[in-house]
Each structure stands twice: as C-alpha cells, then as structure tokens.
Chain A
Amino acid sequence: MSLLRNLAGGVRGLFRKKQVEHEMDEELRGYLDATVNDKIRAGMTRSEALRAARIEMGGTESVKEQIRAATWESLIETLWQDLKFGLRLLRFNTSFAAAAILSLALGIGANTAIFQLLDAVRLRTLPVKNPQELARIAIDHRKNASGHFTSRYSDLTYATWEQIRAQQQGFSKVFAWGPTHFNIAPAGEVHIVQGLWVSGEFFQTLGVEPALGSLLLPSDDQQECASAGVILSYSYWQHEYGGQRDVLGLKLTISRHPFPIIGVAARNFYGVEVGRSFDVAVPLCAEPVINSDDSQLKSRIGWWLAAIGRLKPGWSVDRAAAQLRAISPGIFQAALPTEFNASNAKNFLQHKLAASPAASGISDLRQQFEDPLWLLLALAGLVLLIASANLANLLLARASAREKEMGMRMAMGASRARLMRQLLAESLLLAAIGAACGALLARNVSQVLVASLSTPHDPLFVDIGMDWRVLGFTTALAVLTCILFGVAPALRATSVAPGAVLKESGRGATQGHSRFGLRRILVVSQIALSLTLLVGALLFARSLNNLAKLDPGFRRDGILVADIDFTARHLDKEGRMAFSEELLRRLRAIPGVDAAANAAIVPLSGDGIGHDVLMGDTGEPEGEAPVAAFNYVSPGFFETLQTPFLVGRDFDDHDRTGAPNVAIVNETFVKKLAAGKSPLAMTFRVRRMKRTSAPYQIIGVVKDTKYTDLREEIGPIVYTAKAQSDSPGTDAQILLRSRVPLASLLSAIKTMASQADPDADIIFSNFHQMIDDGLLRDRLMARLSGFFGVLAALLAAIGLYGVISYMVERRRNEIGIRMALGADQQSIIRLVLRETGLLLLTGIVTGVALALATAKTAASMLFDLKSTDLLTYFLAALSLSAVAILASFLPARRAARFDPMVALRNE
C-alpha cells in the first residue's frame, strides 16, 4: 500500500515536475518569510533579520537538493541529467566517442554472435509443448554393433523400435524418426530436399499443431502404405509453394513415387534436430516404397532410426531408463537379425537401452561445435577485455585532462560520489551504445557464421533469435565492460585535491608515477592477452595448414565425382554390371577426361564399409577377427586418384565373376594382417555376418590412403574388383580426373548419361570441395581466431601508441634538456624505444605463460601440432613485437624532432 503511494508520488514528481518545484519554492519562501518576521519582532532590523535567516537556512538550493534527495525519483532524474551531460561531452569529442563505440561494438558484437549460436545449439529448448518431458531412447554405450548405419542418429533398427513401442512403460507416447534426403525431381537431374522419416506418433507426441491441413496420425503409418500422406514444413511451404492453401491434395514426387501432401506443420517447428531443418516429413511405412531394394525397414540390420518419448506424469528420466534397461534383453532377443553370426549376435544381445533428457533436442552439431564455440567465446571475451583496457587507457588520459574541471566542481561543493556517478554515467552511455551496435552486428555475424558452416549438401538451420538469455548476456557484457573500463578512471579523476589542482597552472598536478603506472599495467596486460590470442590464431592456422598439406595418399585436385543413378531402368544383376561398365567406357571417351573409375566408396566422403577378414583359405580365427575397411573399385581407380602401387598389378578386365577372386590391399594391411611377409599370392576370406566368402588372392599392394577422414589413423584397407561383386548397385559412382576445368565437363557428362539412360539421376560433386567441406570446423577456428588475433594485436598497438605518446609528452622537458646537452635524434628514439621494449618484454613473458596455460584447451582440436609448439610462440611474439615497435616508433620520432628551445620554453 505504502509502496504504491510512494510510487505514485514519485511518478507525479517526475511528470509534474514544474508544479512540484513551484510548490517547494513557495513553501521555502514562506518559511524564510516567517523566520524573518519573527526576528524583526525580536528587535532586529530587516536586513539583519534577512541575513540571519539565510544563514540559518543554509542556502535555499541546497535545502531543495536535500528535499529532492529524500525521494527515489531524484535518482532517476540525476541519472538522466548525467546521461544528457555525457551525451553532450561525447558529441564534443566525436573521435574519442567513435573509437570507443567501435571497439566496444566489435567486442560485444563478436561475443554476442558466438553466444547466440551457443544458445541456439546448446541452451534453448525445442519449440514444442512441455519440452522438458521429452527423453531420447537409445542404446547405452554402443560398441561392436554390426549392420548398415545410414543416419546421423543410427540409434535403433526398425525391429528394435517396434519392440520398444510395444514394451516401454515410462512414456505416455513414443515416436521414431530419422533424417534423410529425398529426391523430388520427377526425372533428370536430382532435386534434393531435406527429409524426415517419422513414425505416426511423431507430431502427436511433440504436440505440434498444423498450420494447414492435418498432421500424421498413428493410423497413417500402417504397413504397405503406398500412398501415404506427407507433411511439409512451414518454411518449405512458403518458399516452394508461395504459402498457397491449395497445396493440400497436390502430389509430391519422391524417388518417382507420388505422395499426396496432407498438411503443413506449425510455423516455428523445425523438427527435433537442432542445427538442421526439414522440408518434408514422410511416414516410416513409405520407406520400402521409396527405397525399394535398399529398404532399411525391411532389413533387420539397418540402423536408421532414433526414438524420443514423452514421460508419463510422475516418471523421471532415470526411472524410465531403468525400466528400459530391465526390458532390454527381451527387446534385443526379439529384434535379433537372422543375418548375424554368433559373434555379431552376442554383441547385439548385450546392448542395453537407456534414456536421456531431450528437452533441447538432438544434435550432432553440438558434439562437433560446442567445444569450439565455448573456446571462441573465450577468445572473443579476451578481445573485449583488451578493448576495455584500451578504453580505460583513453579515459585515464581524459581524466588527466579533466583534473581541473573535477577540482573546480569539488571546490564548488560537489561530492566525490556525485562526480563518480556522473563519470560512470558517461561510461555507461558508451557501453550501452556500444552494446546496442554490437547486438545489431551480432545478428549479421552469427548468420554469416552459420552460412559459413553450411554446405550445399548439408545446409544448417540455426534458429538465431534474441531471447532473454542472449539479451541478458549482452546487457551483462555492457555492464561488466562499463565497470572494467569506467571505474578506475573515475576513481582516478575524482581523487584530486581541489586546492592543489586549482593552484597548479600550466600542466596538471597529478602526473605522479603511480598514475602513469596504472596505464602501463593496462598496456602490459593488453600485450599479454593479445599474445595469447595470436598464439591461438597461429596454432589453428598451422593446424589447418597441416591438414591442407597432408598427403592423403591420393590427389585432391582436378577430380570430379559423378554419381549416376539408373534405378529407374529396373535392371537385373548382370544388366547393372554391364550398364555401369558401359557408362564408364563412355565417360572415358569424353574429351578432356584423363582417367575414370567406378568406386563403391569415394574416399573421405564419410561413407565406409567394414568387414571381418579371415587370413588363409580355411579355419576360423581364435577370438575376434580383424576388421578391414573395404572398397569395390573398377580397373583404373588407383590411376585416377594417382595412388602409387608398391608391388603387384591393378585389376583388369579379366577379373570378373567366374574368375578367381582377387584383391589389392594397402601397406597397413600388409603390416598388420600379413605380418609384414610378402603379401603377393597370400589369401584371405571376407566374413559378412553369417556368410564367409571364397578366398581372395592378393595381387597388389598400394600406398596407404586416408579412408573416411583426414584426421584418422590409417587402418587396413581391402580393394576388391567391382566386377566380382555379388550385389552390384543401381548406381555408378564414377571418379573422373581431368586437366580441363571440371565445370566444362558437366554438360558433356549429362548429355552422355541421358543418351545412355534418359531417366538417369546425376549428382555431381567436386572431390577437392568435398574434402574441404570436411575441414569446416578447422577453417572456422582458424579464420575466427585469426580475426580475433589481428584485432587484439591492433588494439594493443593502439594502447601502446597512446601510452608512449603520453610518456613522450610528459617527458618533453627532459628530452629538450637532453637535446640541448647534445643528444642526437637516434639516442632520443632509443630512449623512447627502451620504454617500449620494457613494456613489450613484460607483456610477452606474461603472455607466454598465459598462453601455455590456456592453449591446452585447444590441444584436441589441433592436427599434428602440439599446443606448446615452439615455432608458433616465436612467430606470435615476433609479429606482436613488430607491430608494437611500429606503434611506438611514431611518437619516438616525434620526440626526436622536438625543438629543444620550444620544449624548454614551455615550462
């Protein structure tokens, strides 16, 4: 009640200020008059009485000030006054204001941008109903699982999912889903969209509403649903169909099968995967129709699904996990693939199900980018720290310039607290403007960051927005930087003794050593921090360089991958083999193509095949059989990629079905599996689950190459002849090497392919580009840390320049005397540079210690480089020194050009 009254009174005071002030004046005048009248009555003359009354009262203005100070609204008022005054000062001093705001905007902008990404990827919950009730159901510690892994989230097989749905108890509803790509082109070159496989419970469980039409229900997801309805995402509906309502009932062609569009999902719903969005959601039951022979649903060894459930009221994630664990043996027994051999089955049956919270969605980006983002946030934080130090330095310089003003105001009766408040209001103004600009900047920067992490094949979708967390973060940054750069200068500026300052003429009185000392400390810490940042930048740049220069065992340049899919021809086994060989022949005939080969696996594409290898013609190994990576290639594969043979020969046209099985292996295979013995003529068999192949004879050994990833340690690789494969696919993945620009080949290849098969789908990719896309994270780290490093060095140089200039100015007399006594220009420059050297040395030593302590956190992201790499530290120190000396050379030269007479007369 009284709080309300207080508020109302305050608001009245603010808005009816004139009237309130007027009443106050009148009241005080009345009081004074009454006092005077009393005194006259007591026998004083009028003028005596007036004087006495005024002395008693102690100044009308100061009484009014005291009355105002009794209320809370006066705080707002003085703050407002301070801000207005601060704004005026900044307007007078535009270059200072611009420098301050720019450096703050850059610092705060970079921090906010990175935090926005972290927020979107890590902290925010899914935009669905009660996300905290969601939990992911997956195998706990999966290892030694066998089968086909085709999804980013290969948590479950279809059979396992069916068992979980039937037997789980902790969840009111569960659904399965998996990310995929769909080809929606009716014919010709493929048109890929981002797809989702979803079970019928997907939208119901999440509580997503349709924006149009209806969403899938469990009844839509029944077996053999050849004409199942599909759901579009809101954004896909907008940009592909212009948001038209008659989209319902239209058909969408997926892999040449038409599916009716039955609904559009809610506007903000992007799926359950953070970092990616979907265009089309298709019920699981349609999978066999779309994937025909390659169906995962029909195969019990396809790992392509992930599951999420909504907890029943009263169930915790732990309790649900315990229940899942308890029913695991039964589930895996029931879902056991018949294809498995004894050891596959043993591993499979040992799996246990677990549940983990999924309120913030599922994301492999998180794993990949969470640590780098936190690290980048720390680097950006250091930059902001350096920028704050710079500002503090500038403000300290201004504090010396404003000593007189402060002294004067104190002499007039302003309290130190009041002056501090005003100075801090100025800093707050700077910080607020800087933060606002930074926030605007951040929006663009984070979008650029996301774009730089996207590839055409794998577009990222990060819902970047201003939520309370980002807003809070930016505000906190602004306040923190304001305190960092504002408090010390404000303390300094107001610690003057008014008498001393006013007495002093010419220069300020406060150029004592301690004042200058703080500025030196600031510069030293700037140098130290920017050295740390430079070390980080160089480490990432060198690591990226190591990856780019690494010899993967094959060439990266001038190779085009053309994936030609001829599923629509419906060929039998022999027909497929013959057709892909025919395609290869025609491609090799295209002018400009130097070599071409067909391969089941394109190296470093991320795909891979692994099988057990049993050495010798007969017998089972004791214990686990060694595993090798496999690739099925046509003759000319090694020639195309220019991987050298160590011994033996390539496949030729005689190595086909019916002829003895032959294989080519890599060096590591020889070292590890052939015990280093001469491998030619050695034999081994390949075990794929239950089936063990006929023996393969090794006919050649090639140099080691990377298989799935540039960073991997190379393992044994087996190449077999594609023509001896028992299950040739319905596509040919052809690598072409050419000396002419690859883009110029595209149309010839398209013409050739459509002559061979008018219905063929073609996807092109540039081999080099594909490998580079695998280095996105490394490139991001190198670029951003490089940017931060340069920015930091620049800021430190500016700080140093300021301090050295100030020092030169302060020692003008001394320099003048030295010159008058015969010192030449060089010795003056040396004198100034000695000062720089001292600051630089202290900064670099501190910085090296700091970098050594912090670079460890980046160690796991570096390739073939230690975080204590000596050369890196040396280069960082060298470049920073160069910049620093350059920055202080300018004031040094200015000092050397002082006219000694002018310098001395100044006193």
Chain B
Amino acid sequence: MSDKPSGLVQGTLDMLILKTLELEARHGYGIAMRIEQISKGVFHVNPGSLFPAFRRLERAGWLKSEWRDTENNRRAKYYLLTAEGRKQLKGETREWARQAAAIARILEAES
C-alpha cells in the first residue's frame, strides 16, 4: 500500500491535492495533470496513489465529491475543498514552510 509516488516527499501528496483544489473543483485526471504541470513534470502522480488519497481525504472530511459534466460533455467525479479542508491546507502549508525553512538553514550551515 504505497501512497507516496516516486519523487514525492513523504506525506506531501495530500497537501498537494488540497492545494490544486484551492481555487476550483477538479476531477481526478485534472488534479494529476495540475500537479504535473505546476511542478514542471518533477512530480508524477500515479492513479494507484491518487485515488486512495481521495478516499482518505473524503473520509477525513477535507474533500467532498460530486458528479458533473466535463468540458467535453462527459460525466466525471469532481472533488471540492470543504471549509475544513481549507483550514487543513492553511495549516499544512504553514507547517511545510516552517520545516522547509528549517531544513534549508541546516543544509546551508552544513556547506
């Protein structure tokens, strides 16, 4: 049950998913593409990690889902951020920034 795609720092997938949904609702493929695009292809998320993560986040109450029509007139399941999810994203972002800064400081000091 690996939920971390290669190249992705452990535990960050959930945060990235929440982030891509910050502005608008997206379907699964849209989310995967968005992560790949923004990271300029550094992160590639495979469905075996992505969909279990959706299920997990839904159960945690951070996401909800609904069926909508896509731009090509097909039905797809769209994921939306809940109020709780927004709060979670804010918290995780802050925490991430704090840790990243700390790690950066350590690495600089080492070199």
Chain A residues within CB distance 8 Å of chain B: 1-2, 5-6, 9-10, 23-24, 26-28, 30-31, 33-35, 37-38, 56-58, 62-63, 66-67, 69-71
**What distance in Å separates the Cβ of B31 from its nearest Cβ neighbour in chain A?**
10
Contact of A30 among B32, B48, B55, B76 (CB under 8 A): B76
Identify A58's interface contact among B29, B33, B46, B76, CB under 8 A: B46
The interface residues of chain A lying within 8 Å CB-to-CB of B56 are: 70
Provide the residues of chain A in CB contact with B70, threshold 8 Å: 30
Contacts of A33 in B (CB 8 A): 74
Q: Is B41 an interface residue (CB 8 A)?
A: no
B77 CB, min distance to chain A CBs, angstroms = 5
Q: Is the CB of B51 within 8 A of A63?
A: yes
Contact of B29 with A30 in the complex, beta carbons under 8 Å: yes
Given contacts A31-B29, A67-B52, contact A26 B46 (CB under 8 A): no
Q: A2-B60, A26-B75, A30-B74 are in contact. Are A70 and B55 (CB under 8 A)?
A: yes
**Cβ of B1: which chain A residues have Cβ within 8 Å of it?**
66, 69-70
- Majority DSSP secondary structure for residues of B touching A: helix
Kindly list 15 other residue pairs between chains A and B, CB separation below 8 angstroms, not including A56-B46, A57-B48, A58-B48.
A1-B61, A2-B59, A5-B59, A6-B60, A9-B59, A30-B70, A31-B27, A31-B32, A34-B27, A57-B47, A62-B48, A63-B47, A63-B51, A66-B51, A70-B53
Closest A residue to B72 by CB, please name it: A37
Q: Known contacts A2-B60, A5-B59; is A27 also within 8 Å of B52 by CB?
A: no
Residues of B contacting A69 in the complex (Cβ-Cβ under 8 angstroms):
1, 52
- CA of A9 to CA of B65, assembled, Å: 13
Query: Could you say which residues of chain A place their CB within 8 Å of the CB of B22?
Result: none
Residues on B with C-beta less than 8 A from A5 are 59-61
B58 proximal to A (CB < 8 A): yes
Question: Which residues of B approach A to under 8 Å, CB–CB?
Answer: 1, 3, 27-29, 32-33, 46-49, 51-53, 55-56, 58-61, 70, 72, 74-77
Whole-angstrom CA separation of A396 from B53 in the bound complex: 40
* A84 CB to nearest B CB, Å: 24
Q: Chain B contacts of A37 at CB under 8 A? A: 72
A57 near B46: Cβ-Cβ < 8 Å: yes
Give chain B residues whose Cβ lies under 8 Å from the Cβ of A24.
51
A-B contact pairs, 22 of them (CB 8 A): A2-B61, A5-B61, A6-B60, A9-B58, A27-B51, A28-B51, A30-B29, A30-B74, A31-B29, A31-B32, A34-B27, A35-B29, A37-B72, A58-B48, A63-B47, A63-B48, A66-B49, A66-B52, A67-B51, A70-B52, A70-B53, A70-B56
Residues in chain B near residue A2, CB distance under 8 A? 59-61
Q: Would A34 and B29 count as touching, CB distance under 8 A?
A: yes
> Is B61 within 8 A of A67, CB to CB?
no
Q: Is B28 a contact partner of A30 (Cβ separation < 8 A)?
A: yes
Q: Chain A contacts of B53 at CB under 8 A?
A: 70
Min CB gap A225→B, angstroms: 73
Q: Which residues of B contact A35 (CB under 8 A)?
A: 29
Contacts of A66 in B (CB 8 A): 1, 48-49, 51-52
Complex CA–CA separation, A121 to B77 (angstroms): 63
Q: Which residues of A contact B76 (CB under 8 A)?
A: 27, 30
Chain B residues near A23 (CB-CB < 8 A): 77
B59 with A30: CB separation less than 8 A: no
Q: Whole-angstrom distance between the alpha carbons of A808 and B38 in the complex?
A: 69
User: Nearest chain A CB to B26's CB is how many angstroms away?
Assistant: 11
Closest to A415 in B: B1
Closest to B58 in A: A9
Q: Can you name the residue of chain B whose Cβ is closest to the Cβ of A9?
A: B59
Closest 10 pairs between A and B when the two form their complex, measured CB to CB: A70-B52, A34-B29, A70-B55, A67-B51, A6-B59, A27-B77, A30-B76, A31-B29, A2-B61, A63-B48
Q: How far is the CA of A38 from the CA of B74 in the complex (A)?
A: 15
Known: A35-B29, A63-B51, A66-B1. A30 touches B75 (CB 8 A): yes
Q: How far is the CB of A524 from chain B (nearest CB, A)?
A: 41
Bound Cα distance A63, B52 (Å): 8
Q: Which of B3, B33, B53, B59 has the most CB of A within 10 A?
A: B59
Instruction: Note all chain A residues with C-beta closer than 8 A to B55.
Output: 67, 70-71
Q: CB-CB < 8 A to B61: which residues of A? A: 1-2, 5
In Å, the complex CA distance between A63 and B49 comes to: 8
B77 contacts across to A, CB distance below 8 A: 23, 26-27, 30
Chain B residues, Cβ within 8 Å of A56: 46
**Do B27 and A30 touch (CB < 8 A)?**
yes
B54's nearest neighbour on chain A, judged by CB, is A67
Residue of B nearest to A64 (CB): B51
Residues of A within 8 Å of B46, CB to CB, are 56-58
Contacts of B33 in A (CB 8 A): 38
User: Nearest-CB distance from B13 to chain A (Å)?
Assistant: 12
Closest to B56 in A: A70
Please report the C-alpha to C-alpha distance between residue A526 and residue B74 in the assembled complex, in whole angstroms.
68
CB distance from B41 to the nearest CB of A (A): 13
Evaluate contact between B47 and A28: CB separation under 8 angstroms.
yes
How far is it, in angstroms, between the C-alpha of A33 and the C-alpha of B75 when the chains are bound? 12
Q: Which residue of chain A lies nearest to B1 when distances are taken between CB atoms in the complex? A: A69
| A380 CB, min distance to chain B CBs, angstroms | 43
| Cα of A62 to Cα of B49 in the assembled complex, Å | 11
Bound complex: CA A34 to CA B70 (Å): 11
What is the distance, in angstroms, from A327's C-beta to the closest C-beta of chain B? Answer: 67
Residues in B whose Cβ lies below 8 Å from that of A58: 46-48
Which residues from B are CB-within-8-Å of A28?
47, 51
Report the bound CA distance from A71 to B54 in whole Å. Answer: 11
A34 to B47, CA, bound (A): 13
Residue on B nearest A24 in the bound complex, by CB:
B51
The answer to whether B28 and A27 touch across the interface, beta carbons within 8 angstroms, is yes
Chain A contacts for B60, CB-based, 8 A: 2, 5-6
Distance between Cα atoms of A27 and B33 in the complex (Å)? 16
Task: Give the nearest-CB partner of A57 in chain B.
Answer: B47
Which residues from chain A contact B48 at a C-beta distance below 8 Å? 57-58, 62-63, 66
A1: chain B residues at CB < 8 Å are: 61
Q: Tell me the smallest distance from the CB of A31 to a CB of chain B, in Å.
A: 5
Among B32, B49, B52, chain A packs the most CB atoms within 10 A around the CB of B52
Set of chain B residues within 8 Å of A6, measured between Cβ atoms: 59-60
A26 to B59, alpha carbons, bound, how many Å? 20
A2 to B61, CA, bound (A): 6
Q: How far is the CB of A694 from chain B (nearest CB, A)?
A: 98
* Nearest chain B CB to A16 CB, angstrom units: 15
Chain A contacts for B3, CB-based, 8 A: 70
CA distance A28 to B55 in the complex (A): 13
Chain B residues with CB below 8 A from A10, complex form: 59
CA distance A160 to B70 in the complex (A): 95
CA distance A31 to B49 in the complex (A): 13
For the complex, what is the distance from the CA of A222 to the CA of B89, rounded to whole Å? 81
With A26-B75, A69-B52 known to touch, is A31 a contact of B59 (CB < 8 Å)? no
Which residues on B sit within 8 Å (CB–CB) of A38?
33
B22–chain A nearest beta-carbon distance, Å: 21
Q: Which residues of B contact A71 (CB under 8 A)?
A: 55, 59
In the bound assembly, the distance between CA atoms of A63 and B53 in angstroms comes to: 12
**B21 to nearest A CB, angstroms?**
16
A63 to B72, CA, bound (A): 25
Return A34 CB to nearest CB of chain B, in Å: 4
A810 to B48, CA, bound (A): 46
Identify the closest chain B residue to A8 (Cβ): B59
Roughly how many angstroms separate A38 CA and B76 CA in the complex, as a whole number? 16
How many Å from the CB of B70 to the closest CB on chain A?
A: 8
In angstroms, Cα B60 to Cα A57, docked, is 25
Give, as a whole number of angstroms, the nearest-CB distance from A331 to chain B: 70
How many angstroms between the C-alpha atoms of A62 and B48 in the bound complex? Answer: 8
B81 to chain A minimum Cβ distance, whole angstroms, is 15
Q: What's the Cα separation between A69 and B48 when bound, in Å?
A: 11
Whole-angstrom CA separation of A506 from B29 in the bound complex = 50
Considering the complex, give the chain B residue whose CB is closest to the CB of A2: B61
Q: Are the CB atoms of A31 and B52 closer together than 8 Å?
A: no
Determine the distance from Cα of A37 to Cα of B1 in the docked complex, in whole angstroms: 29
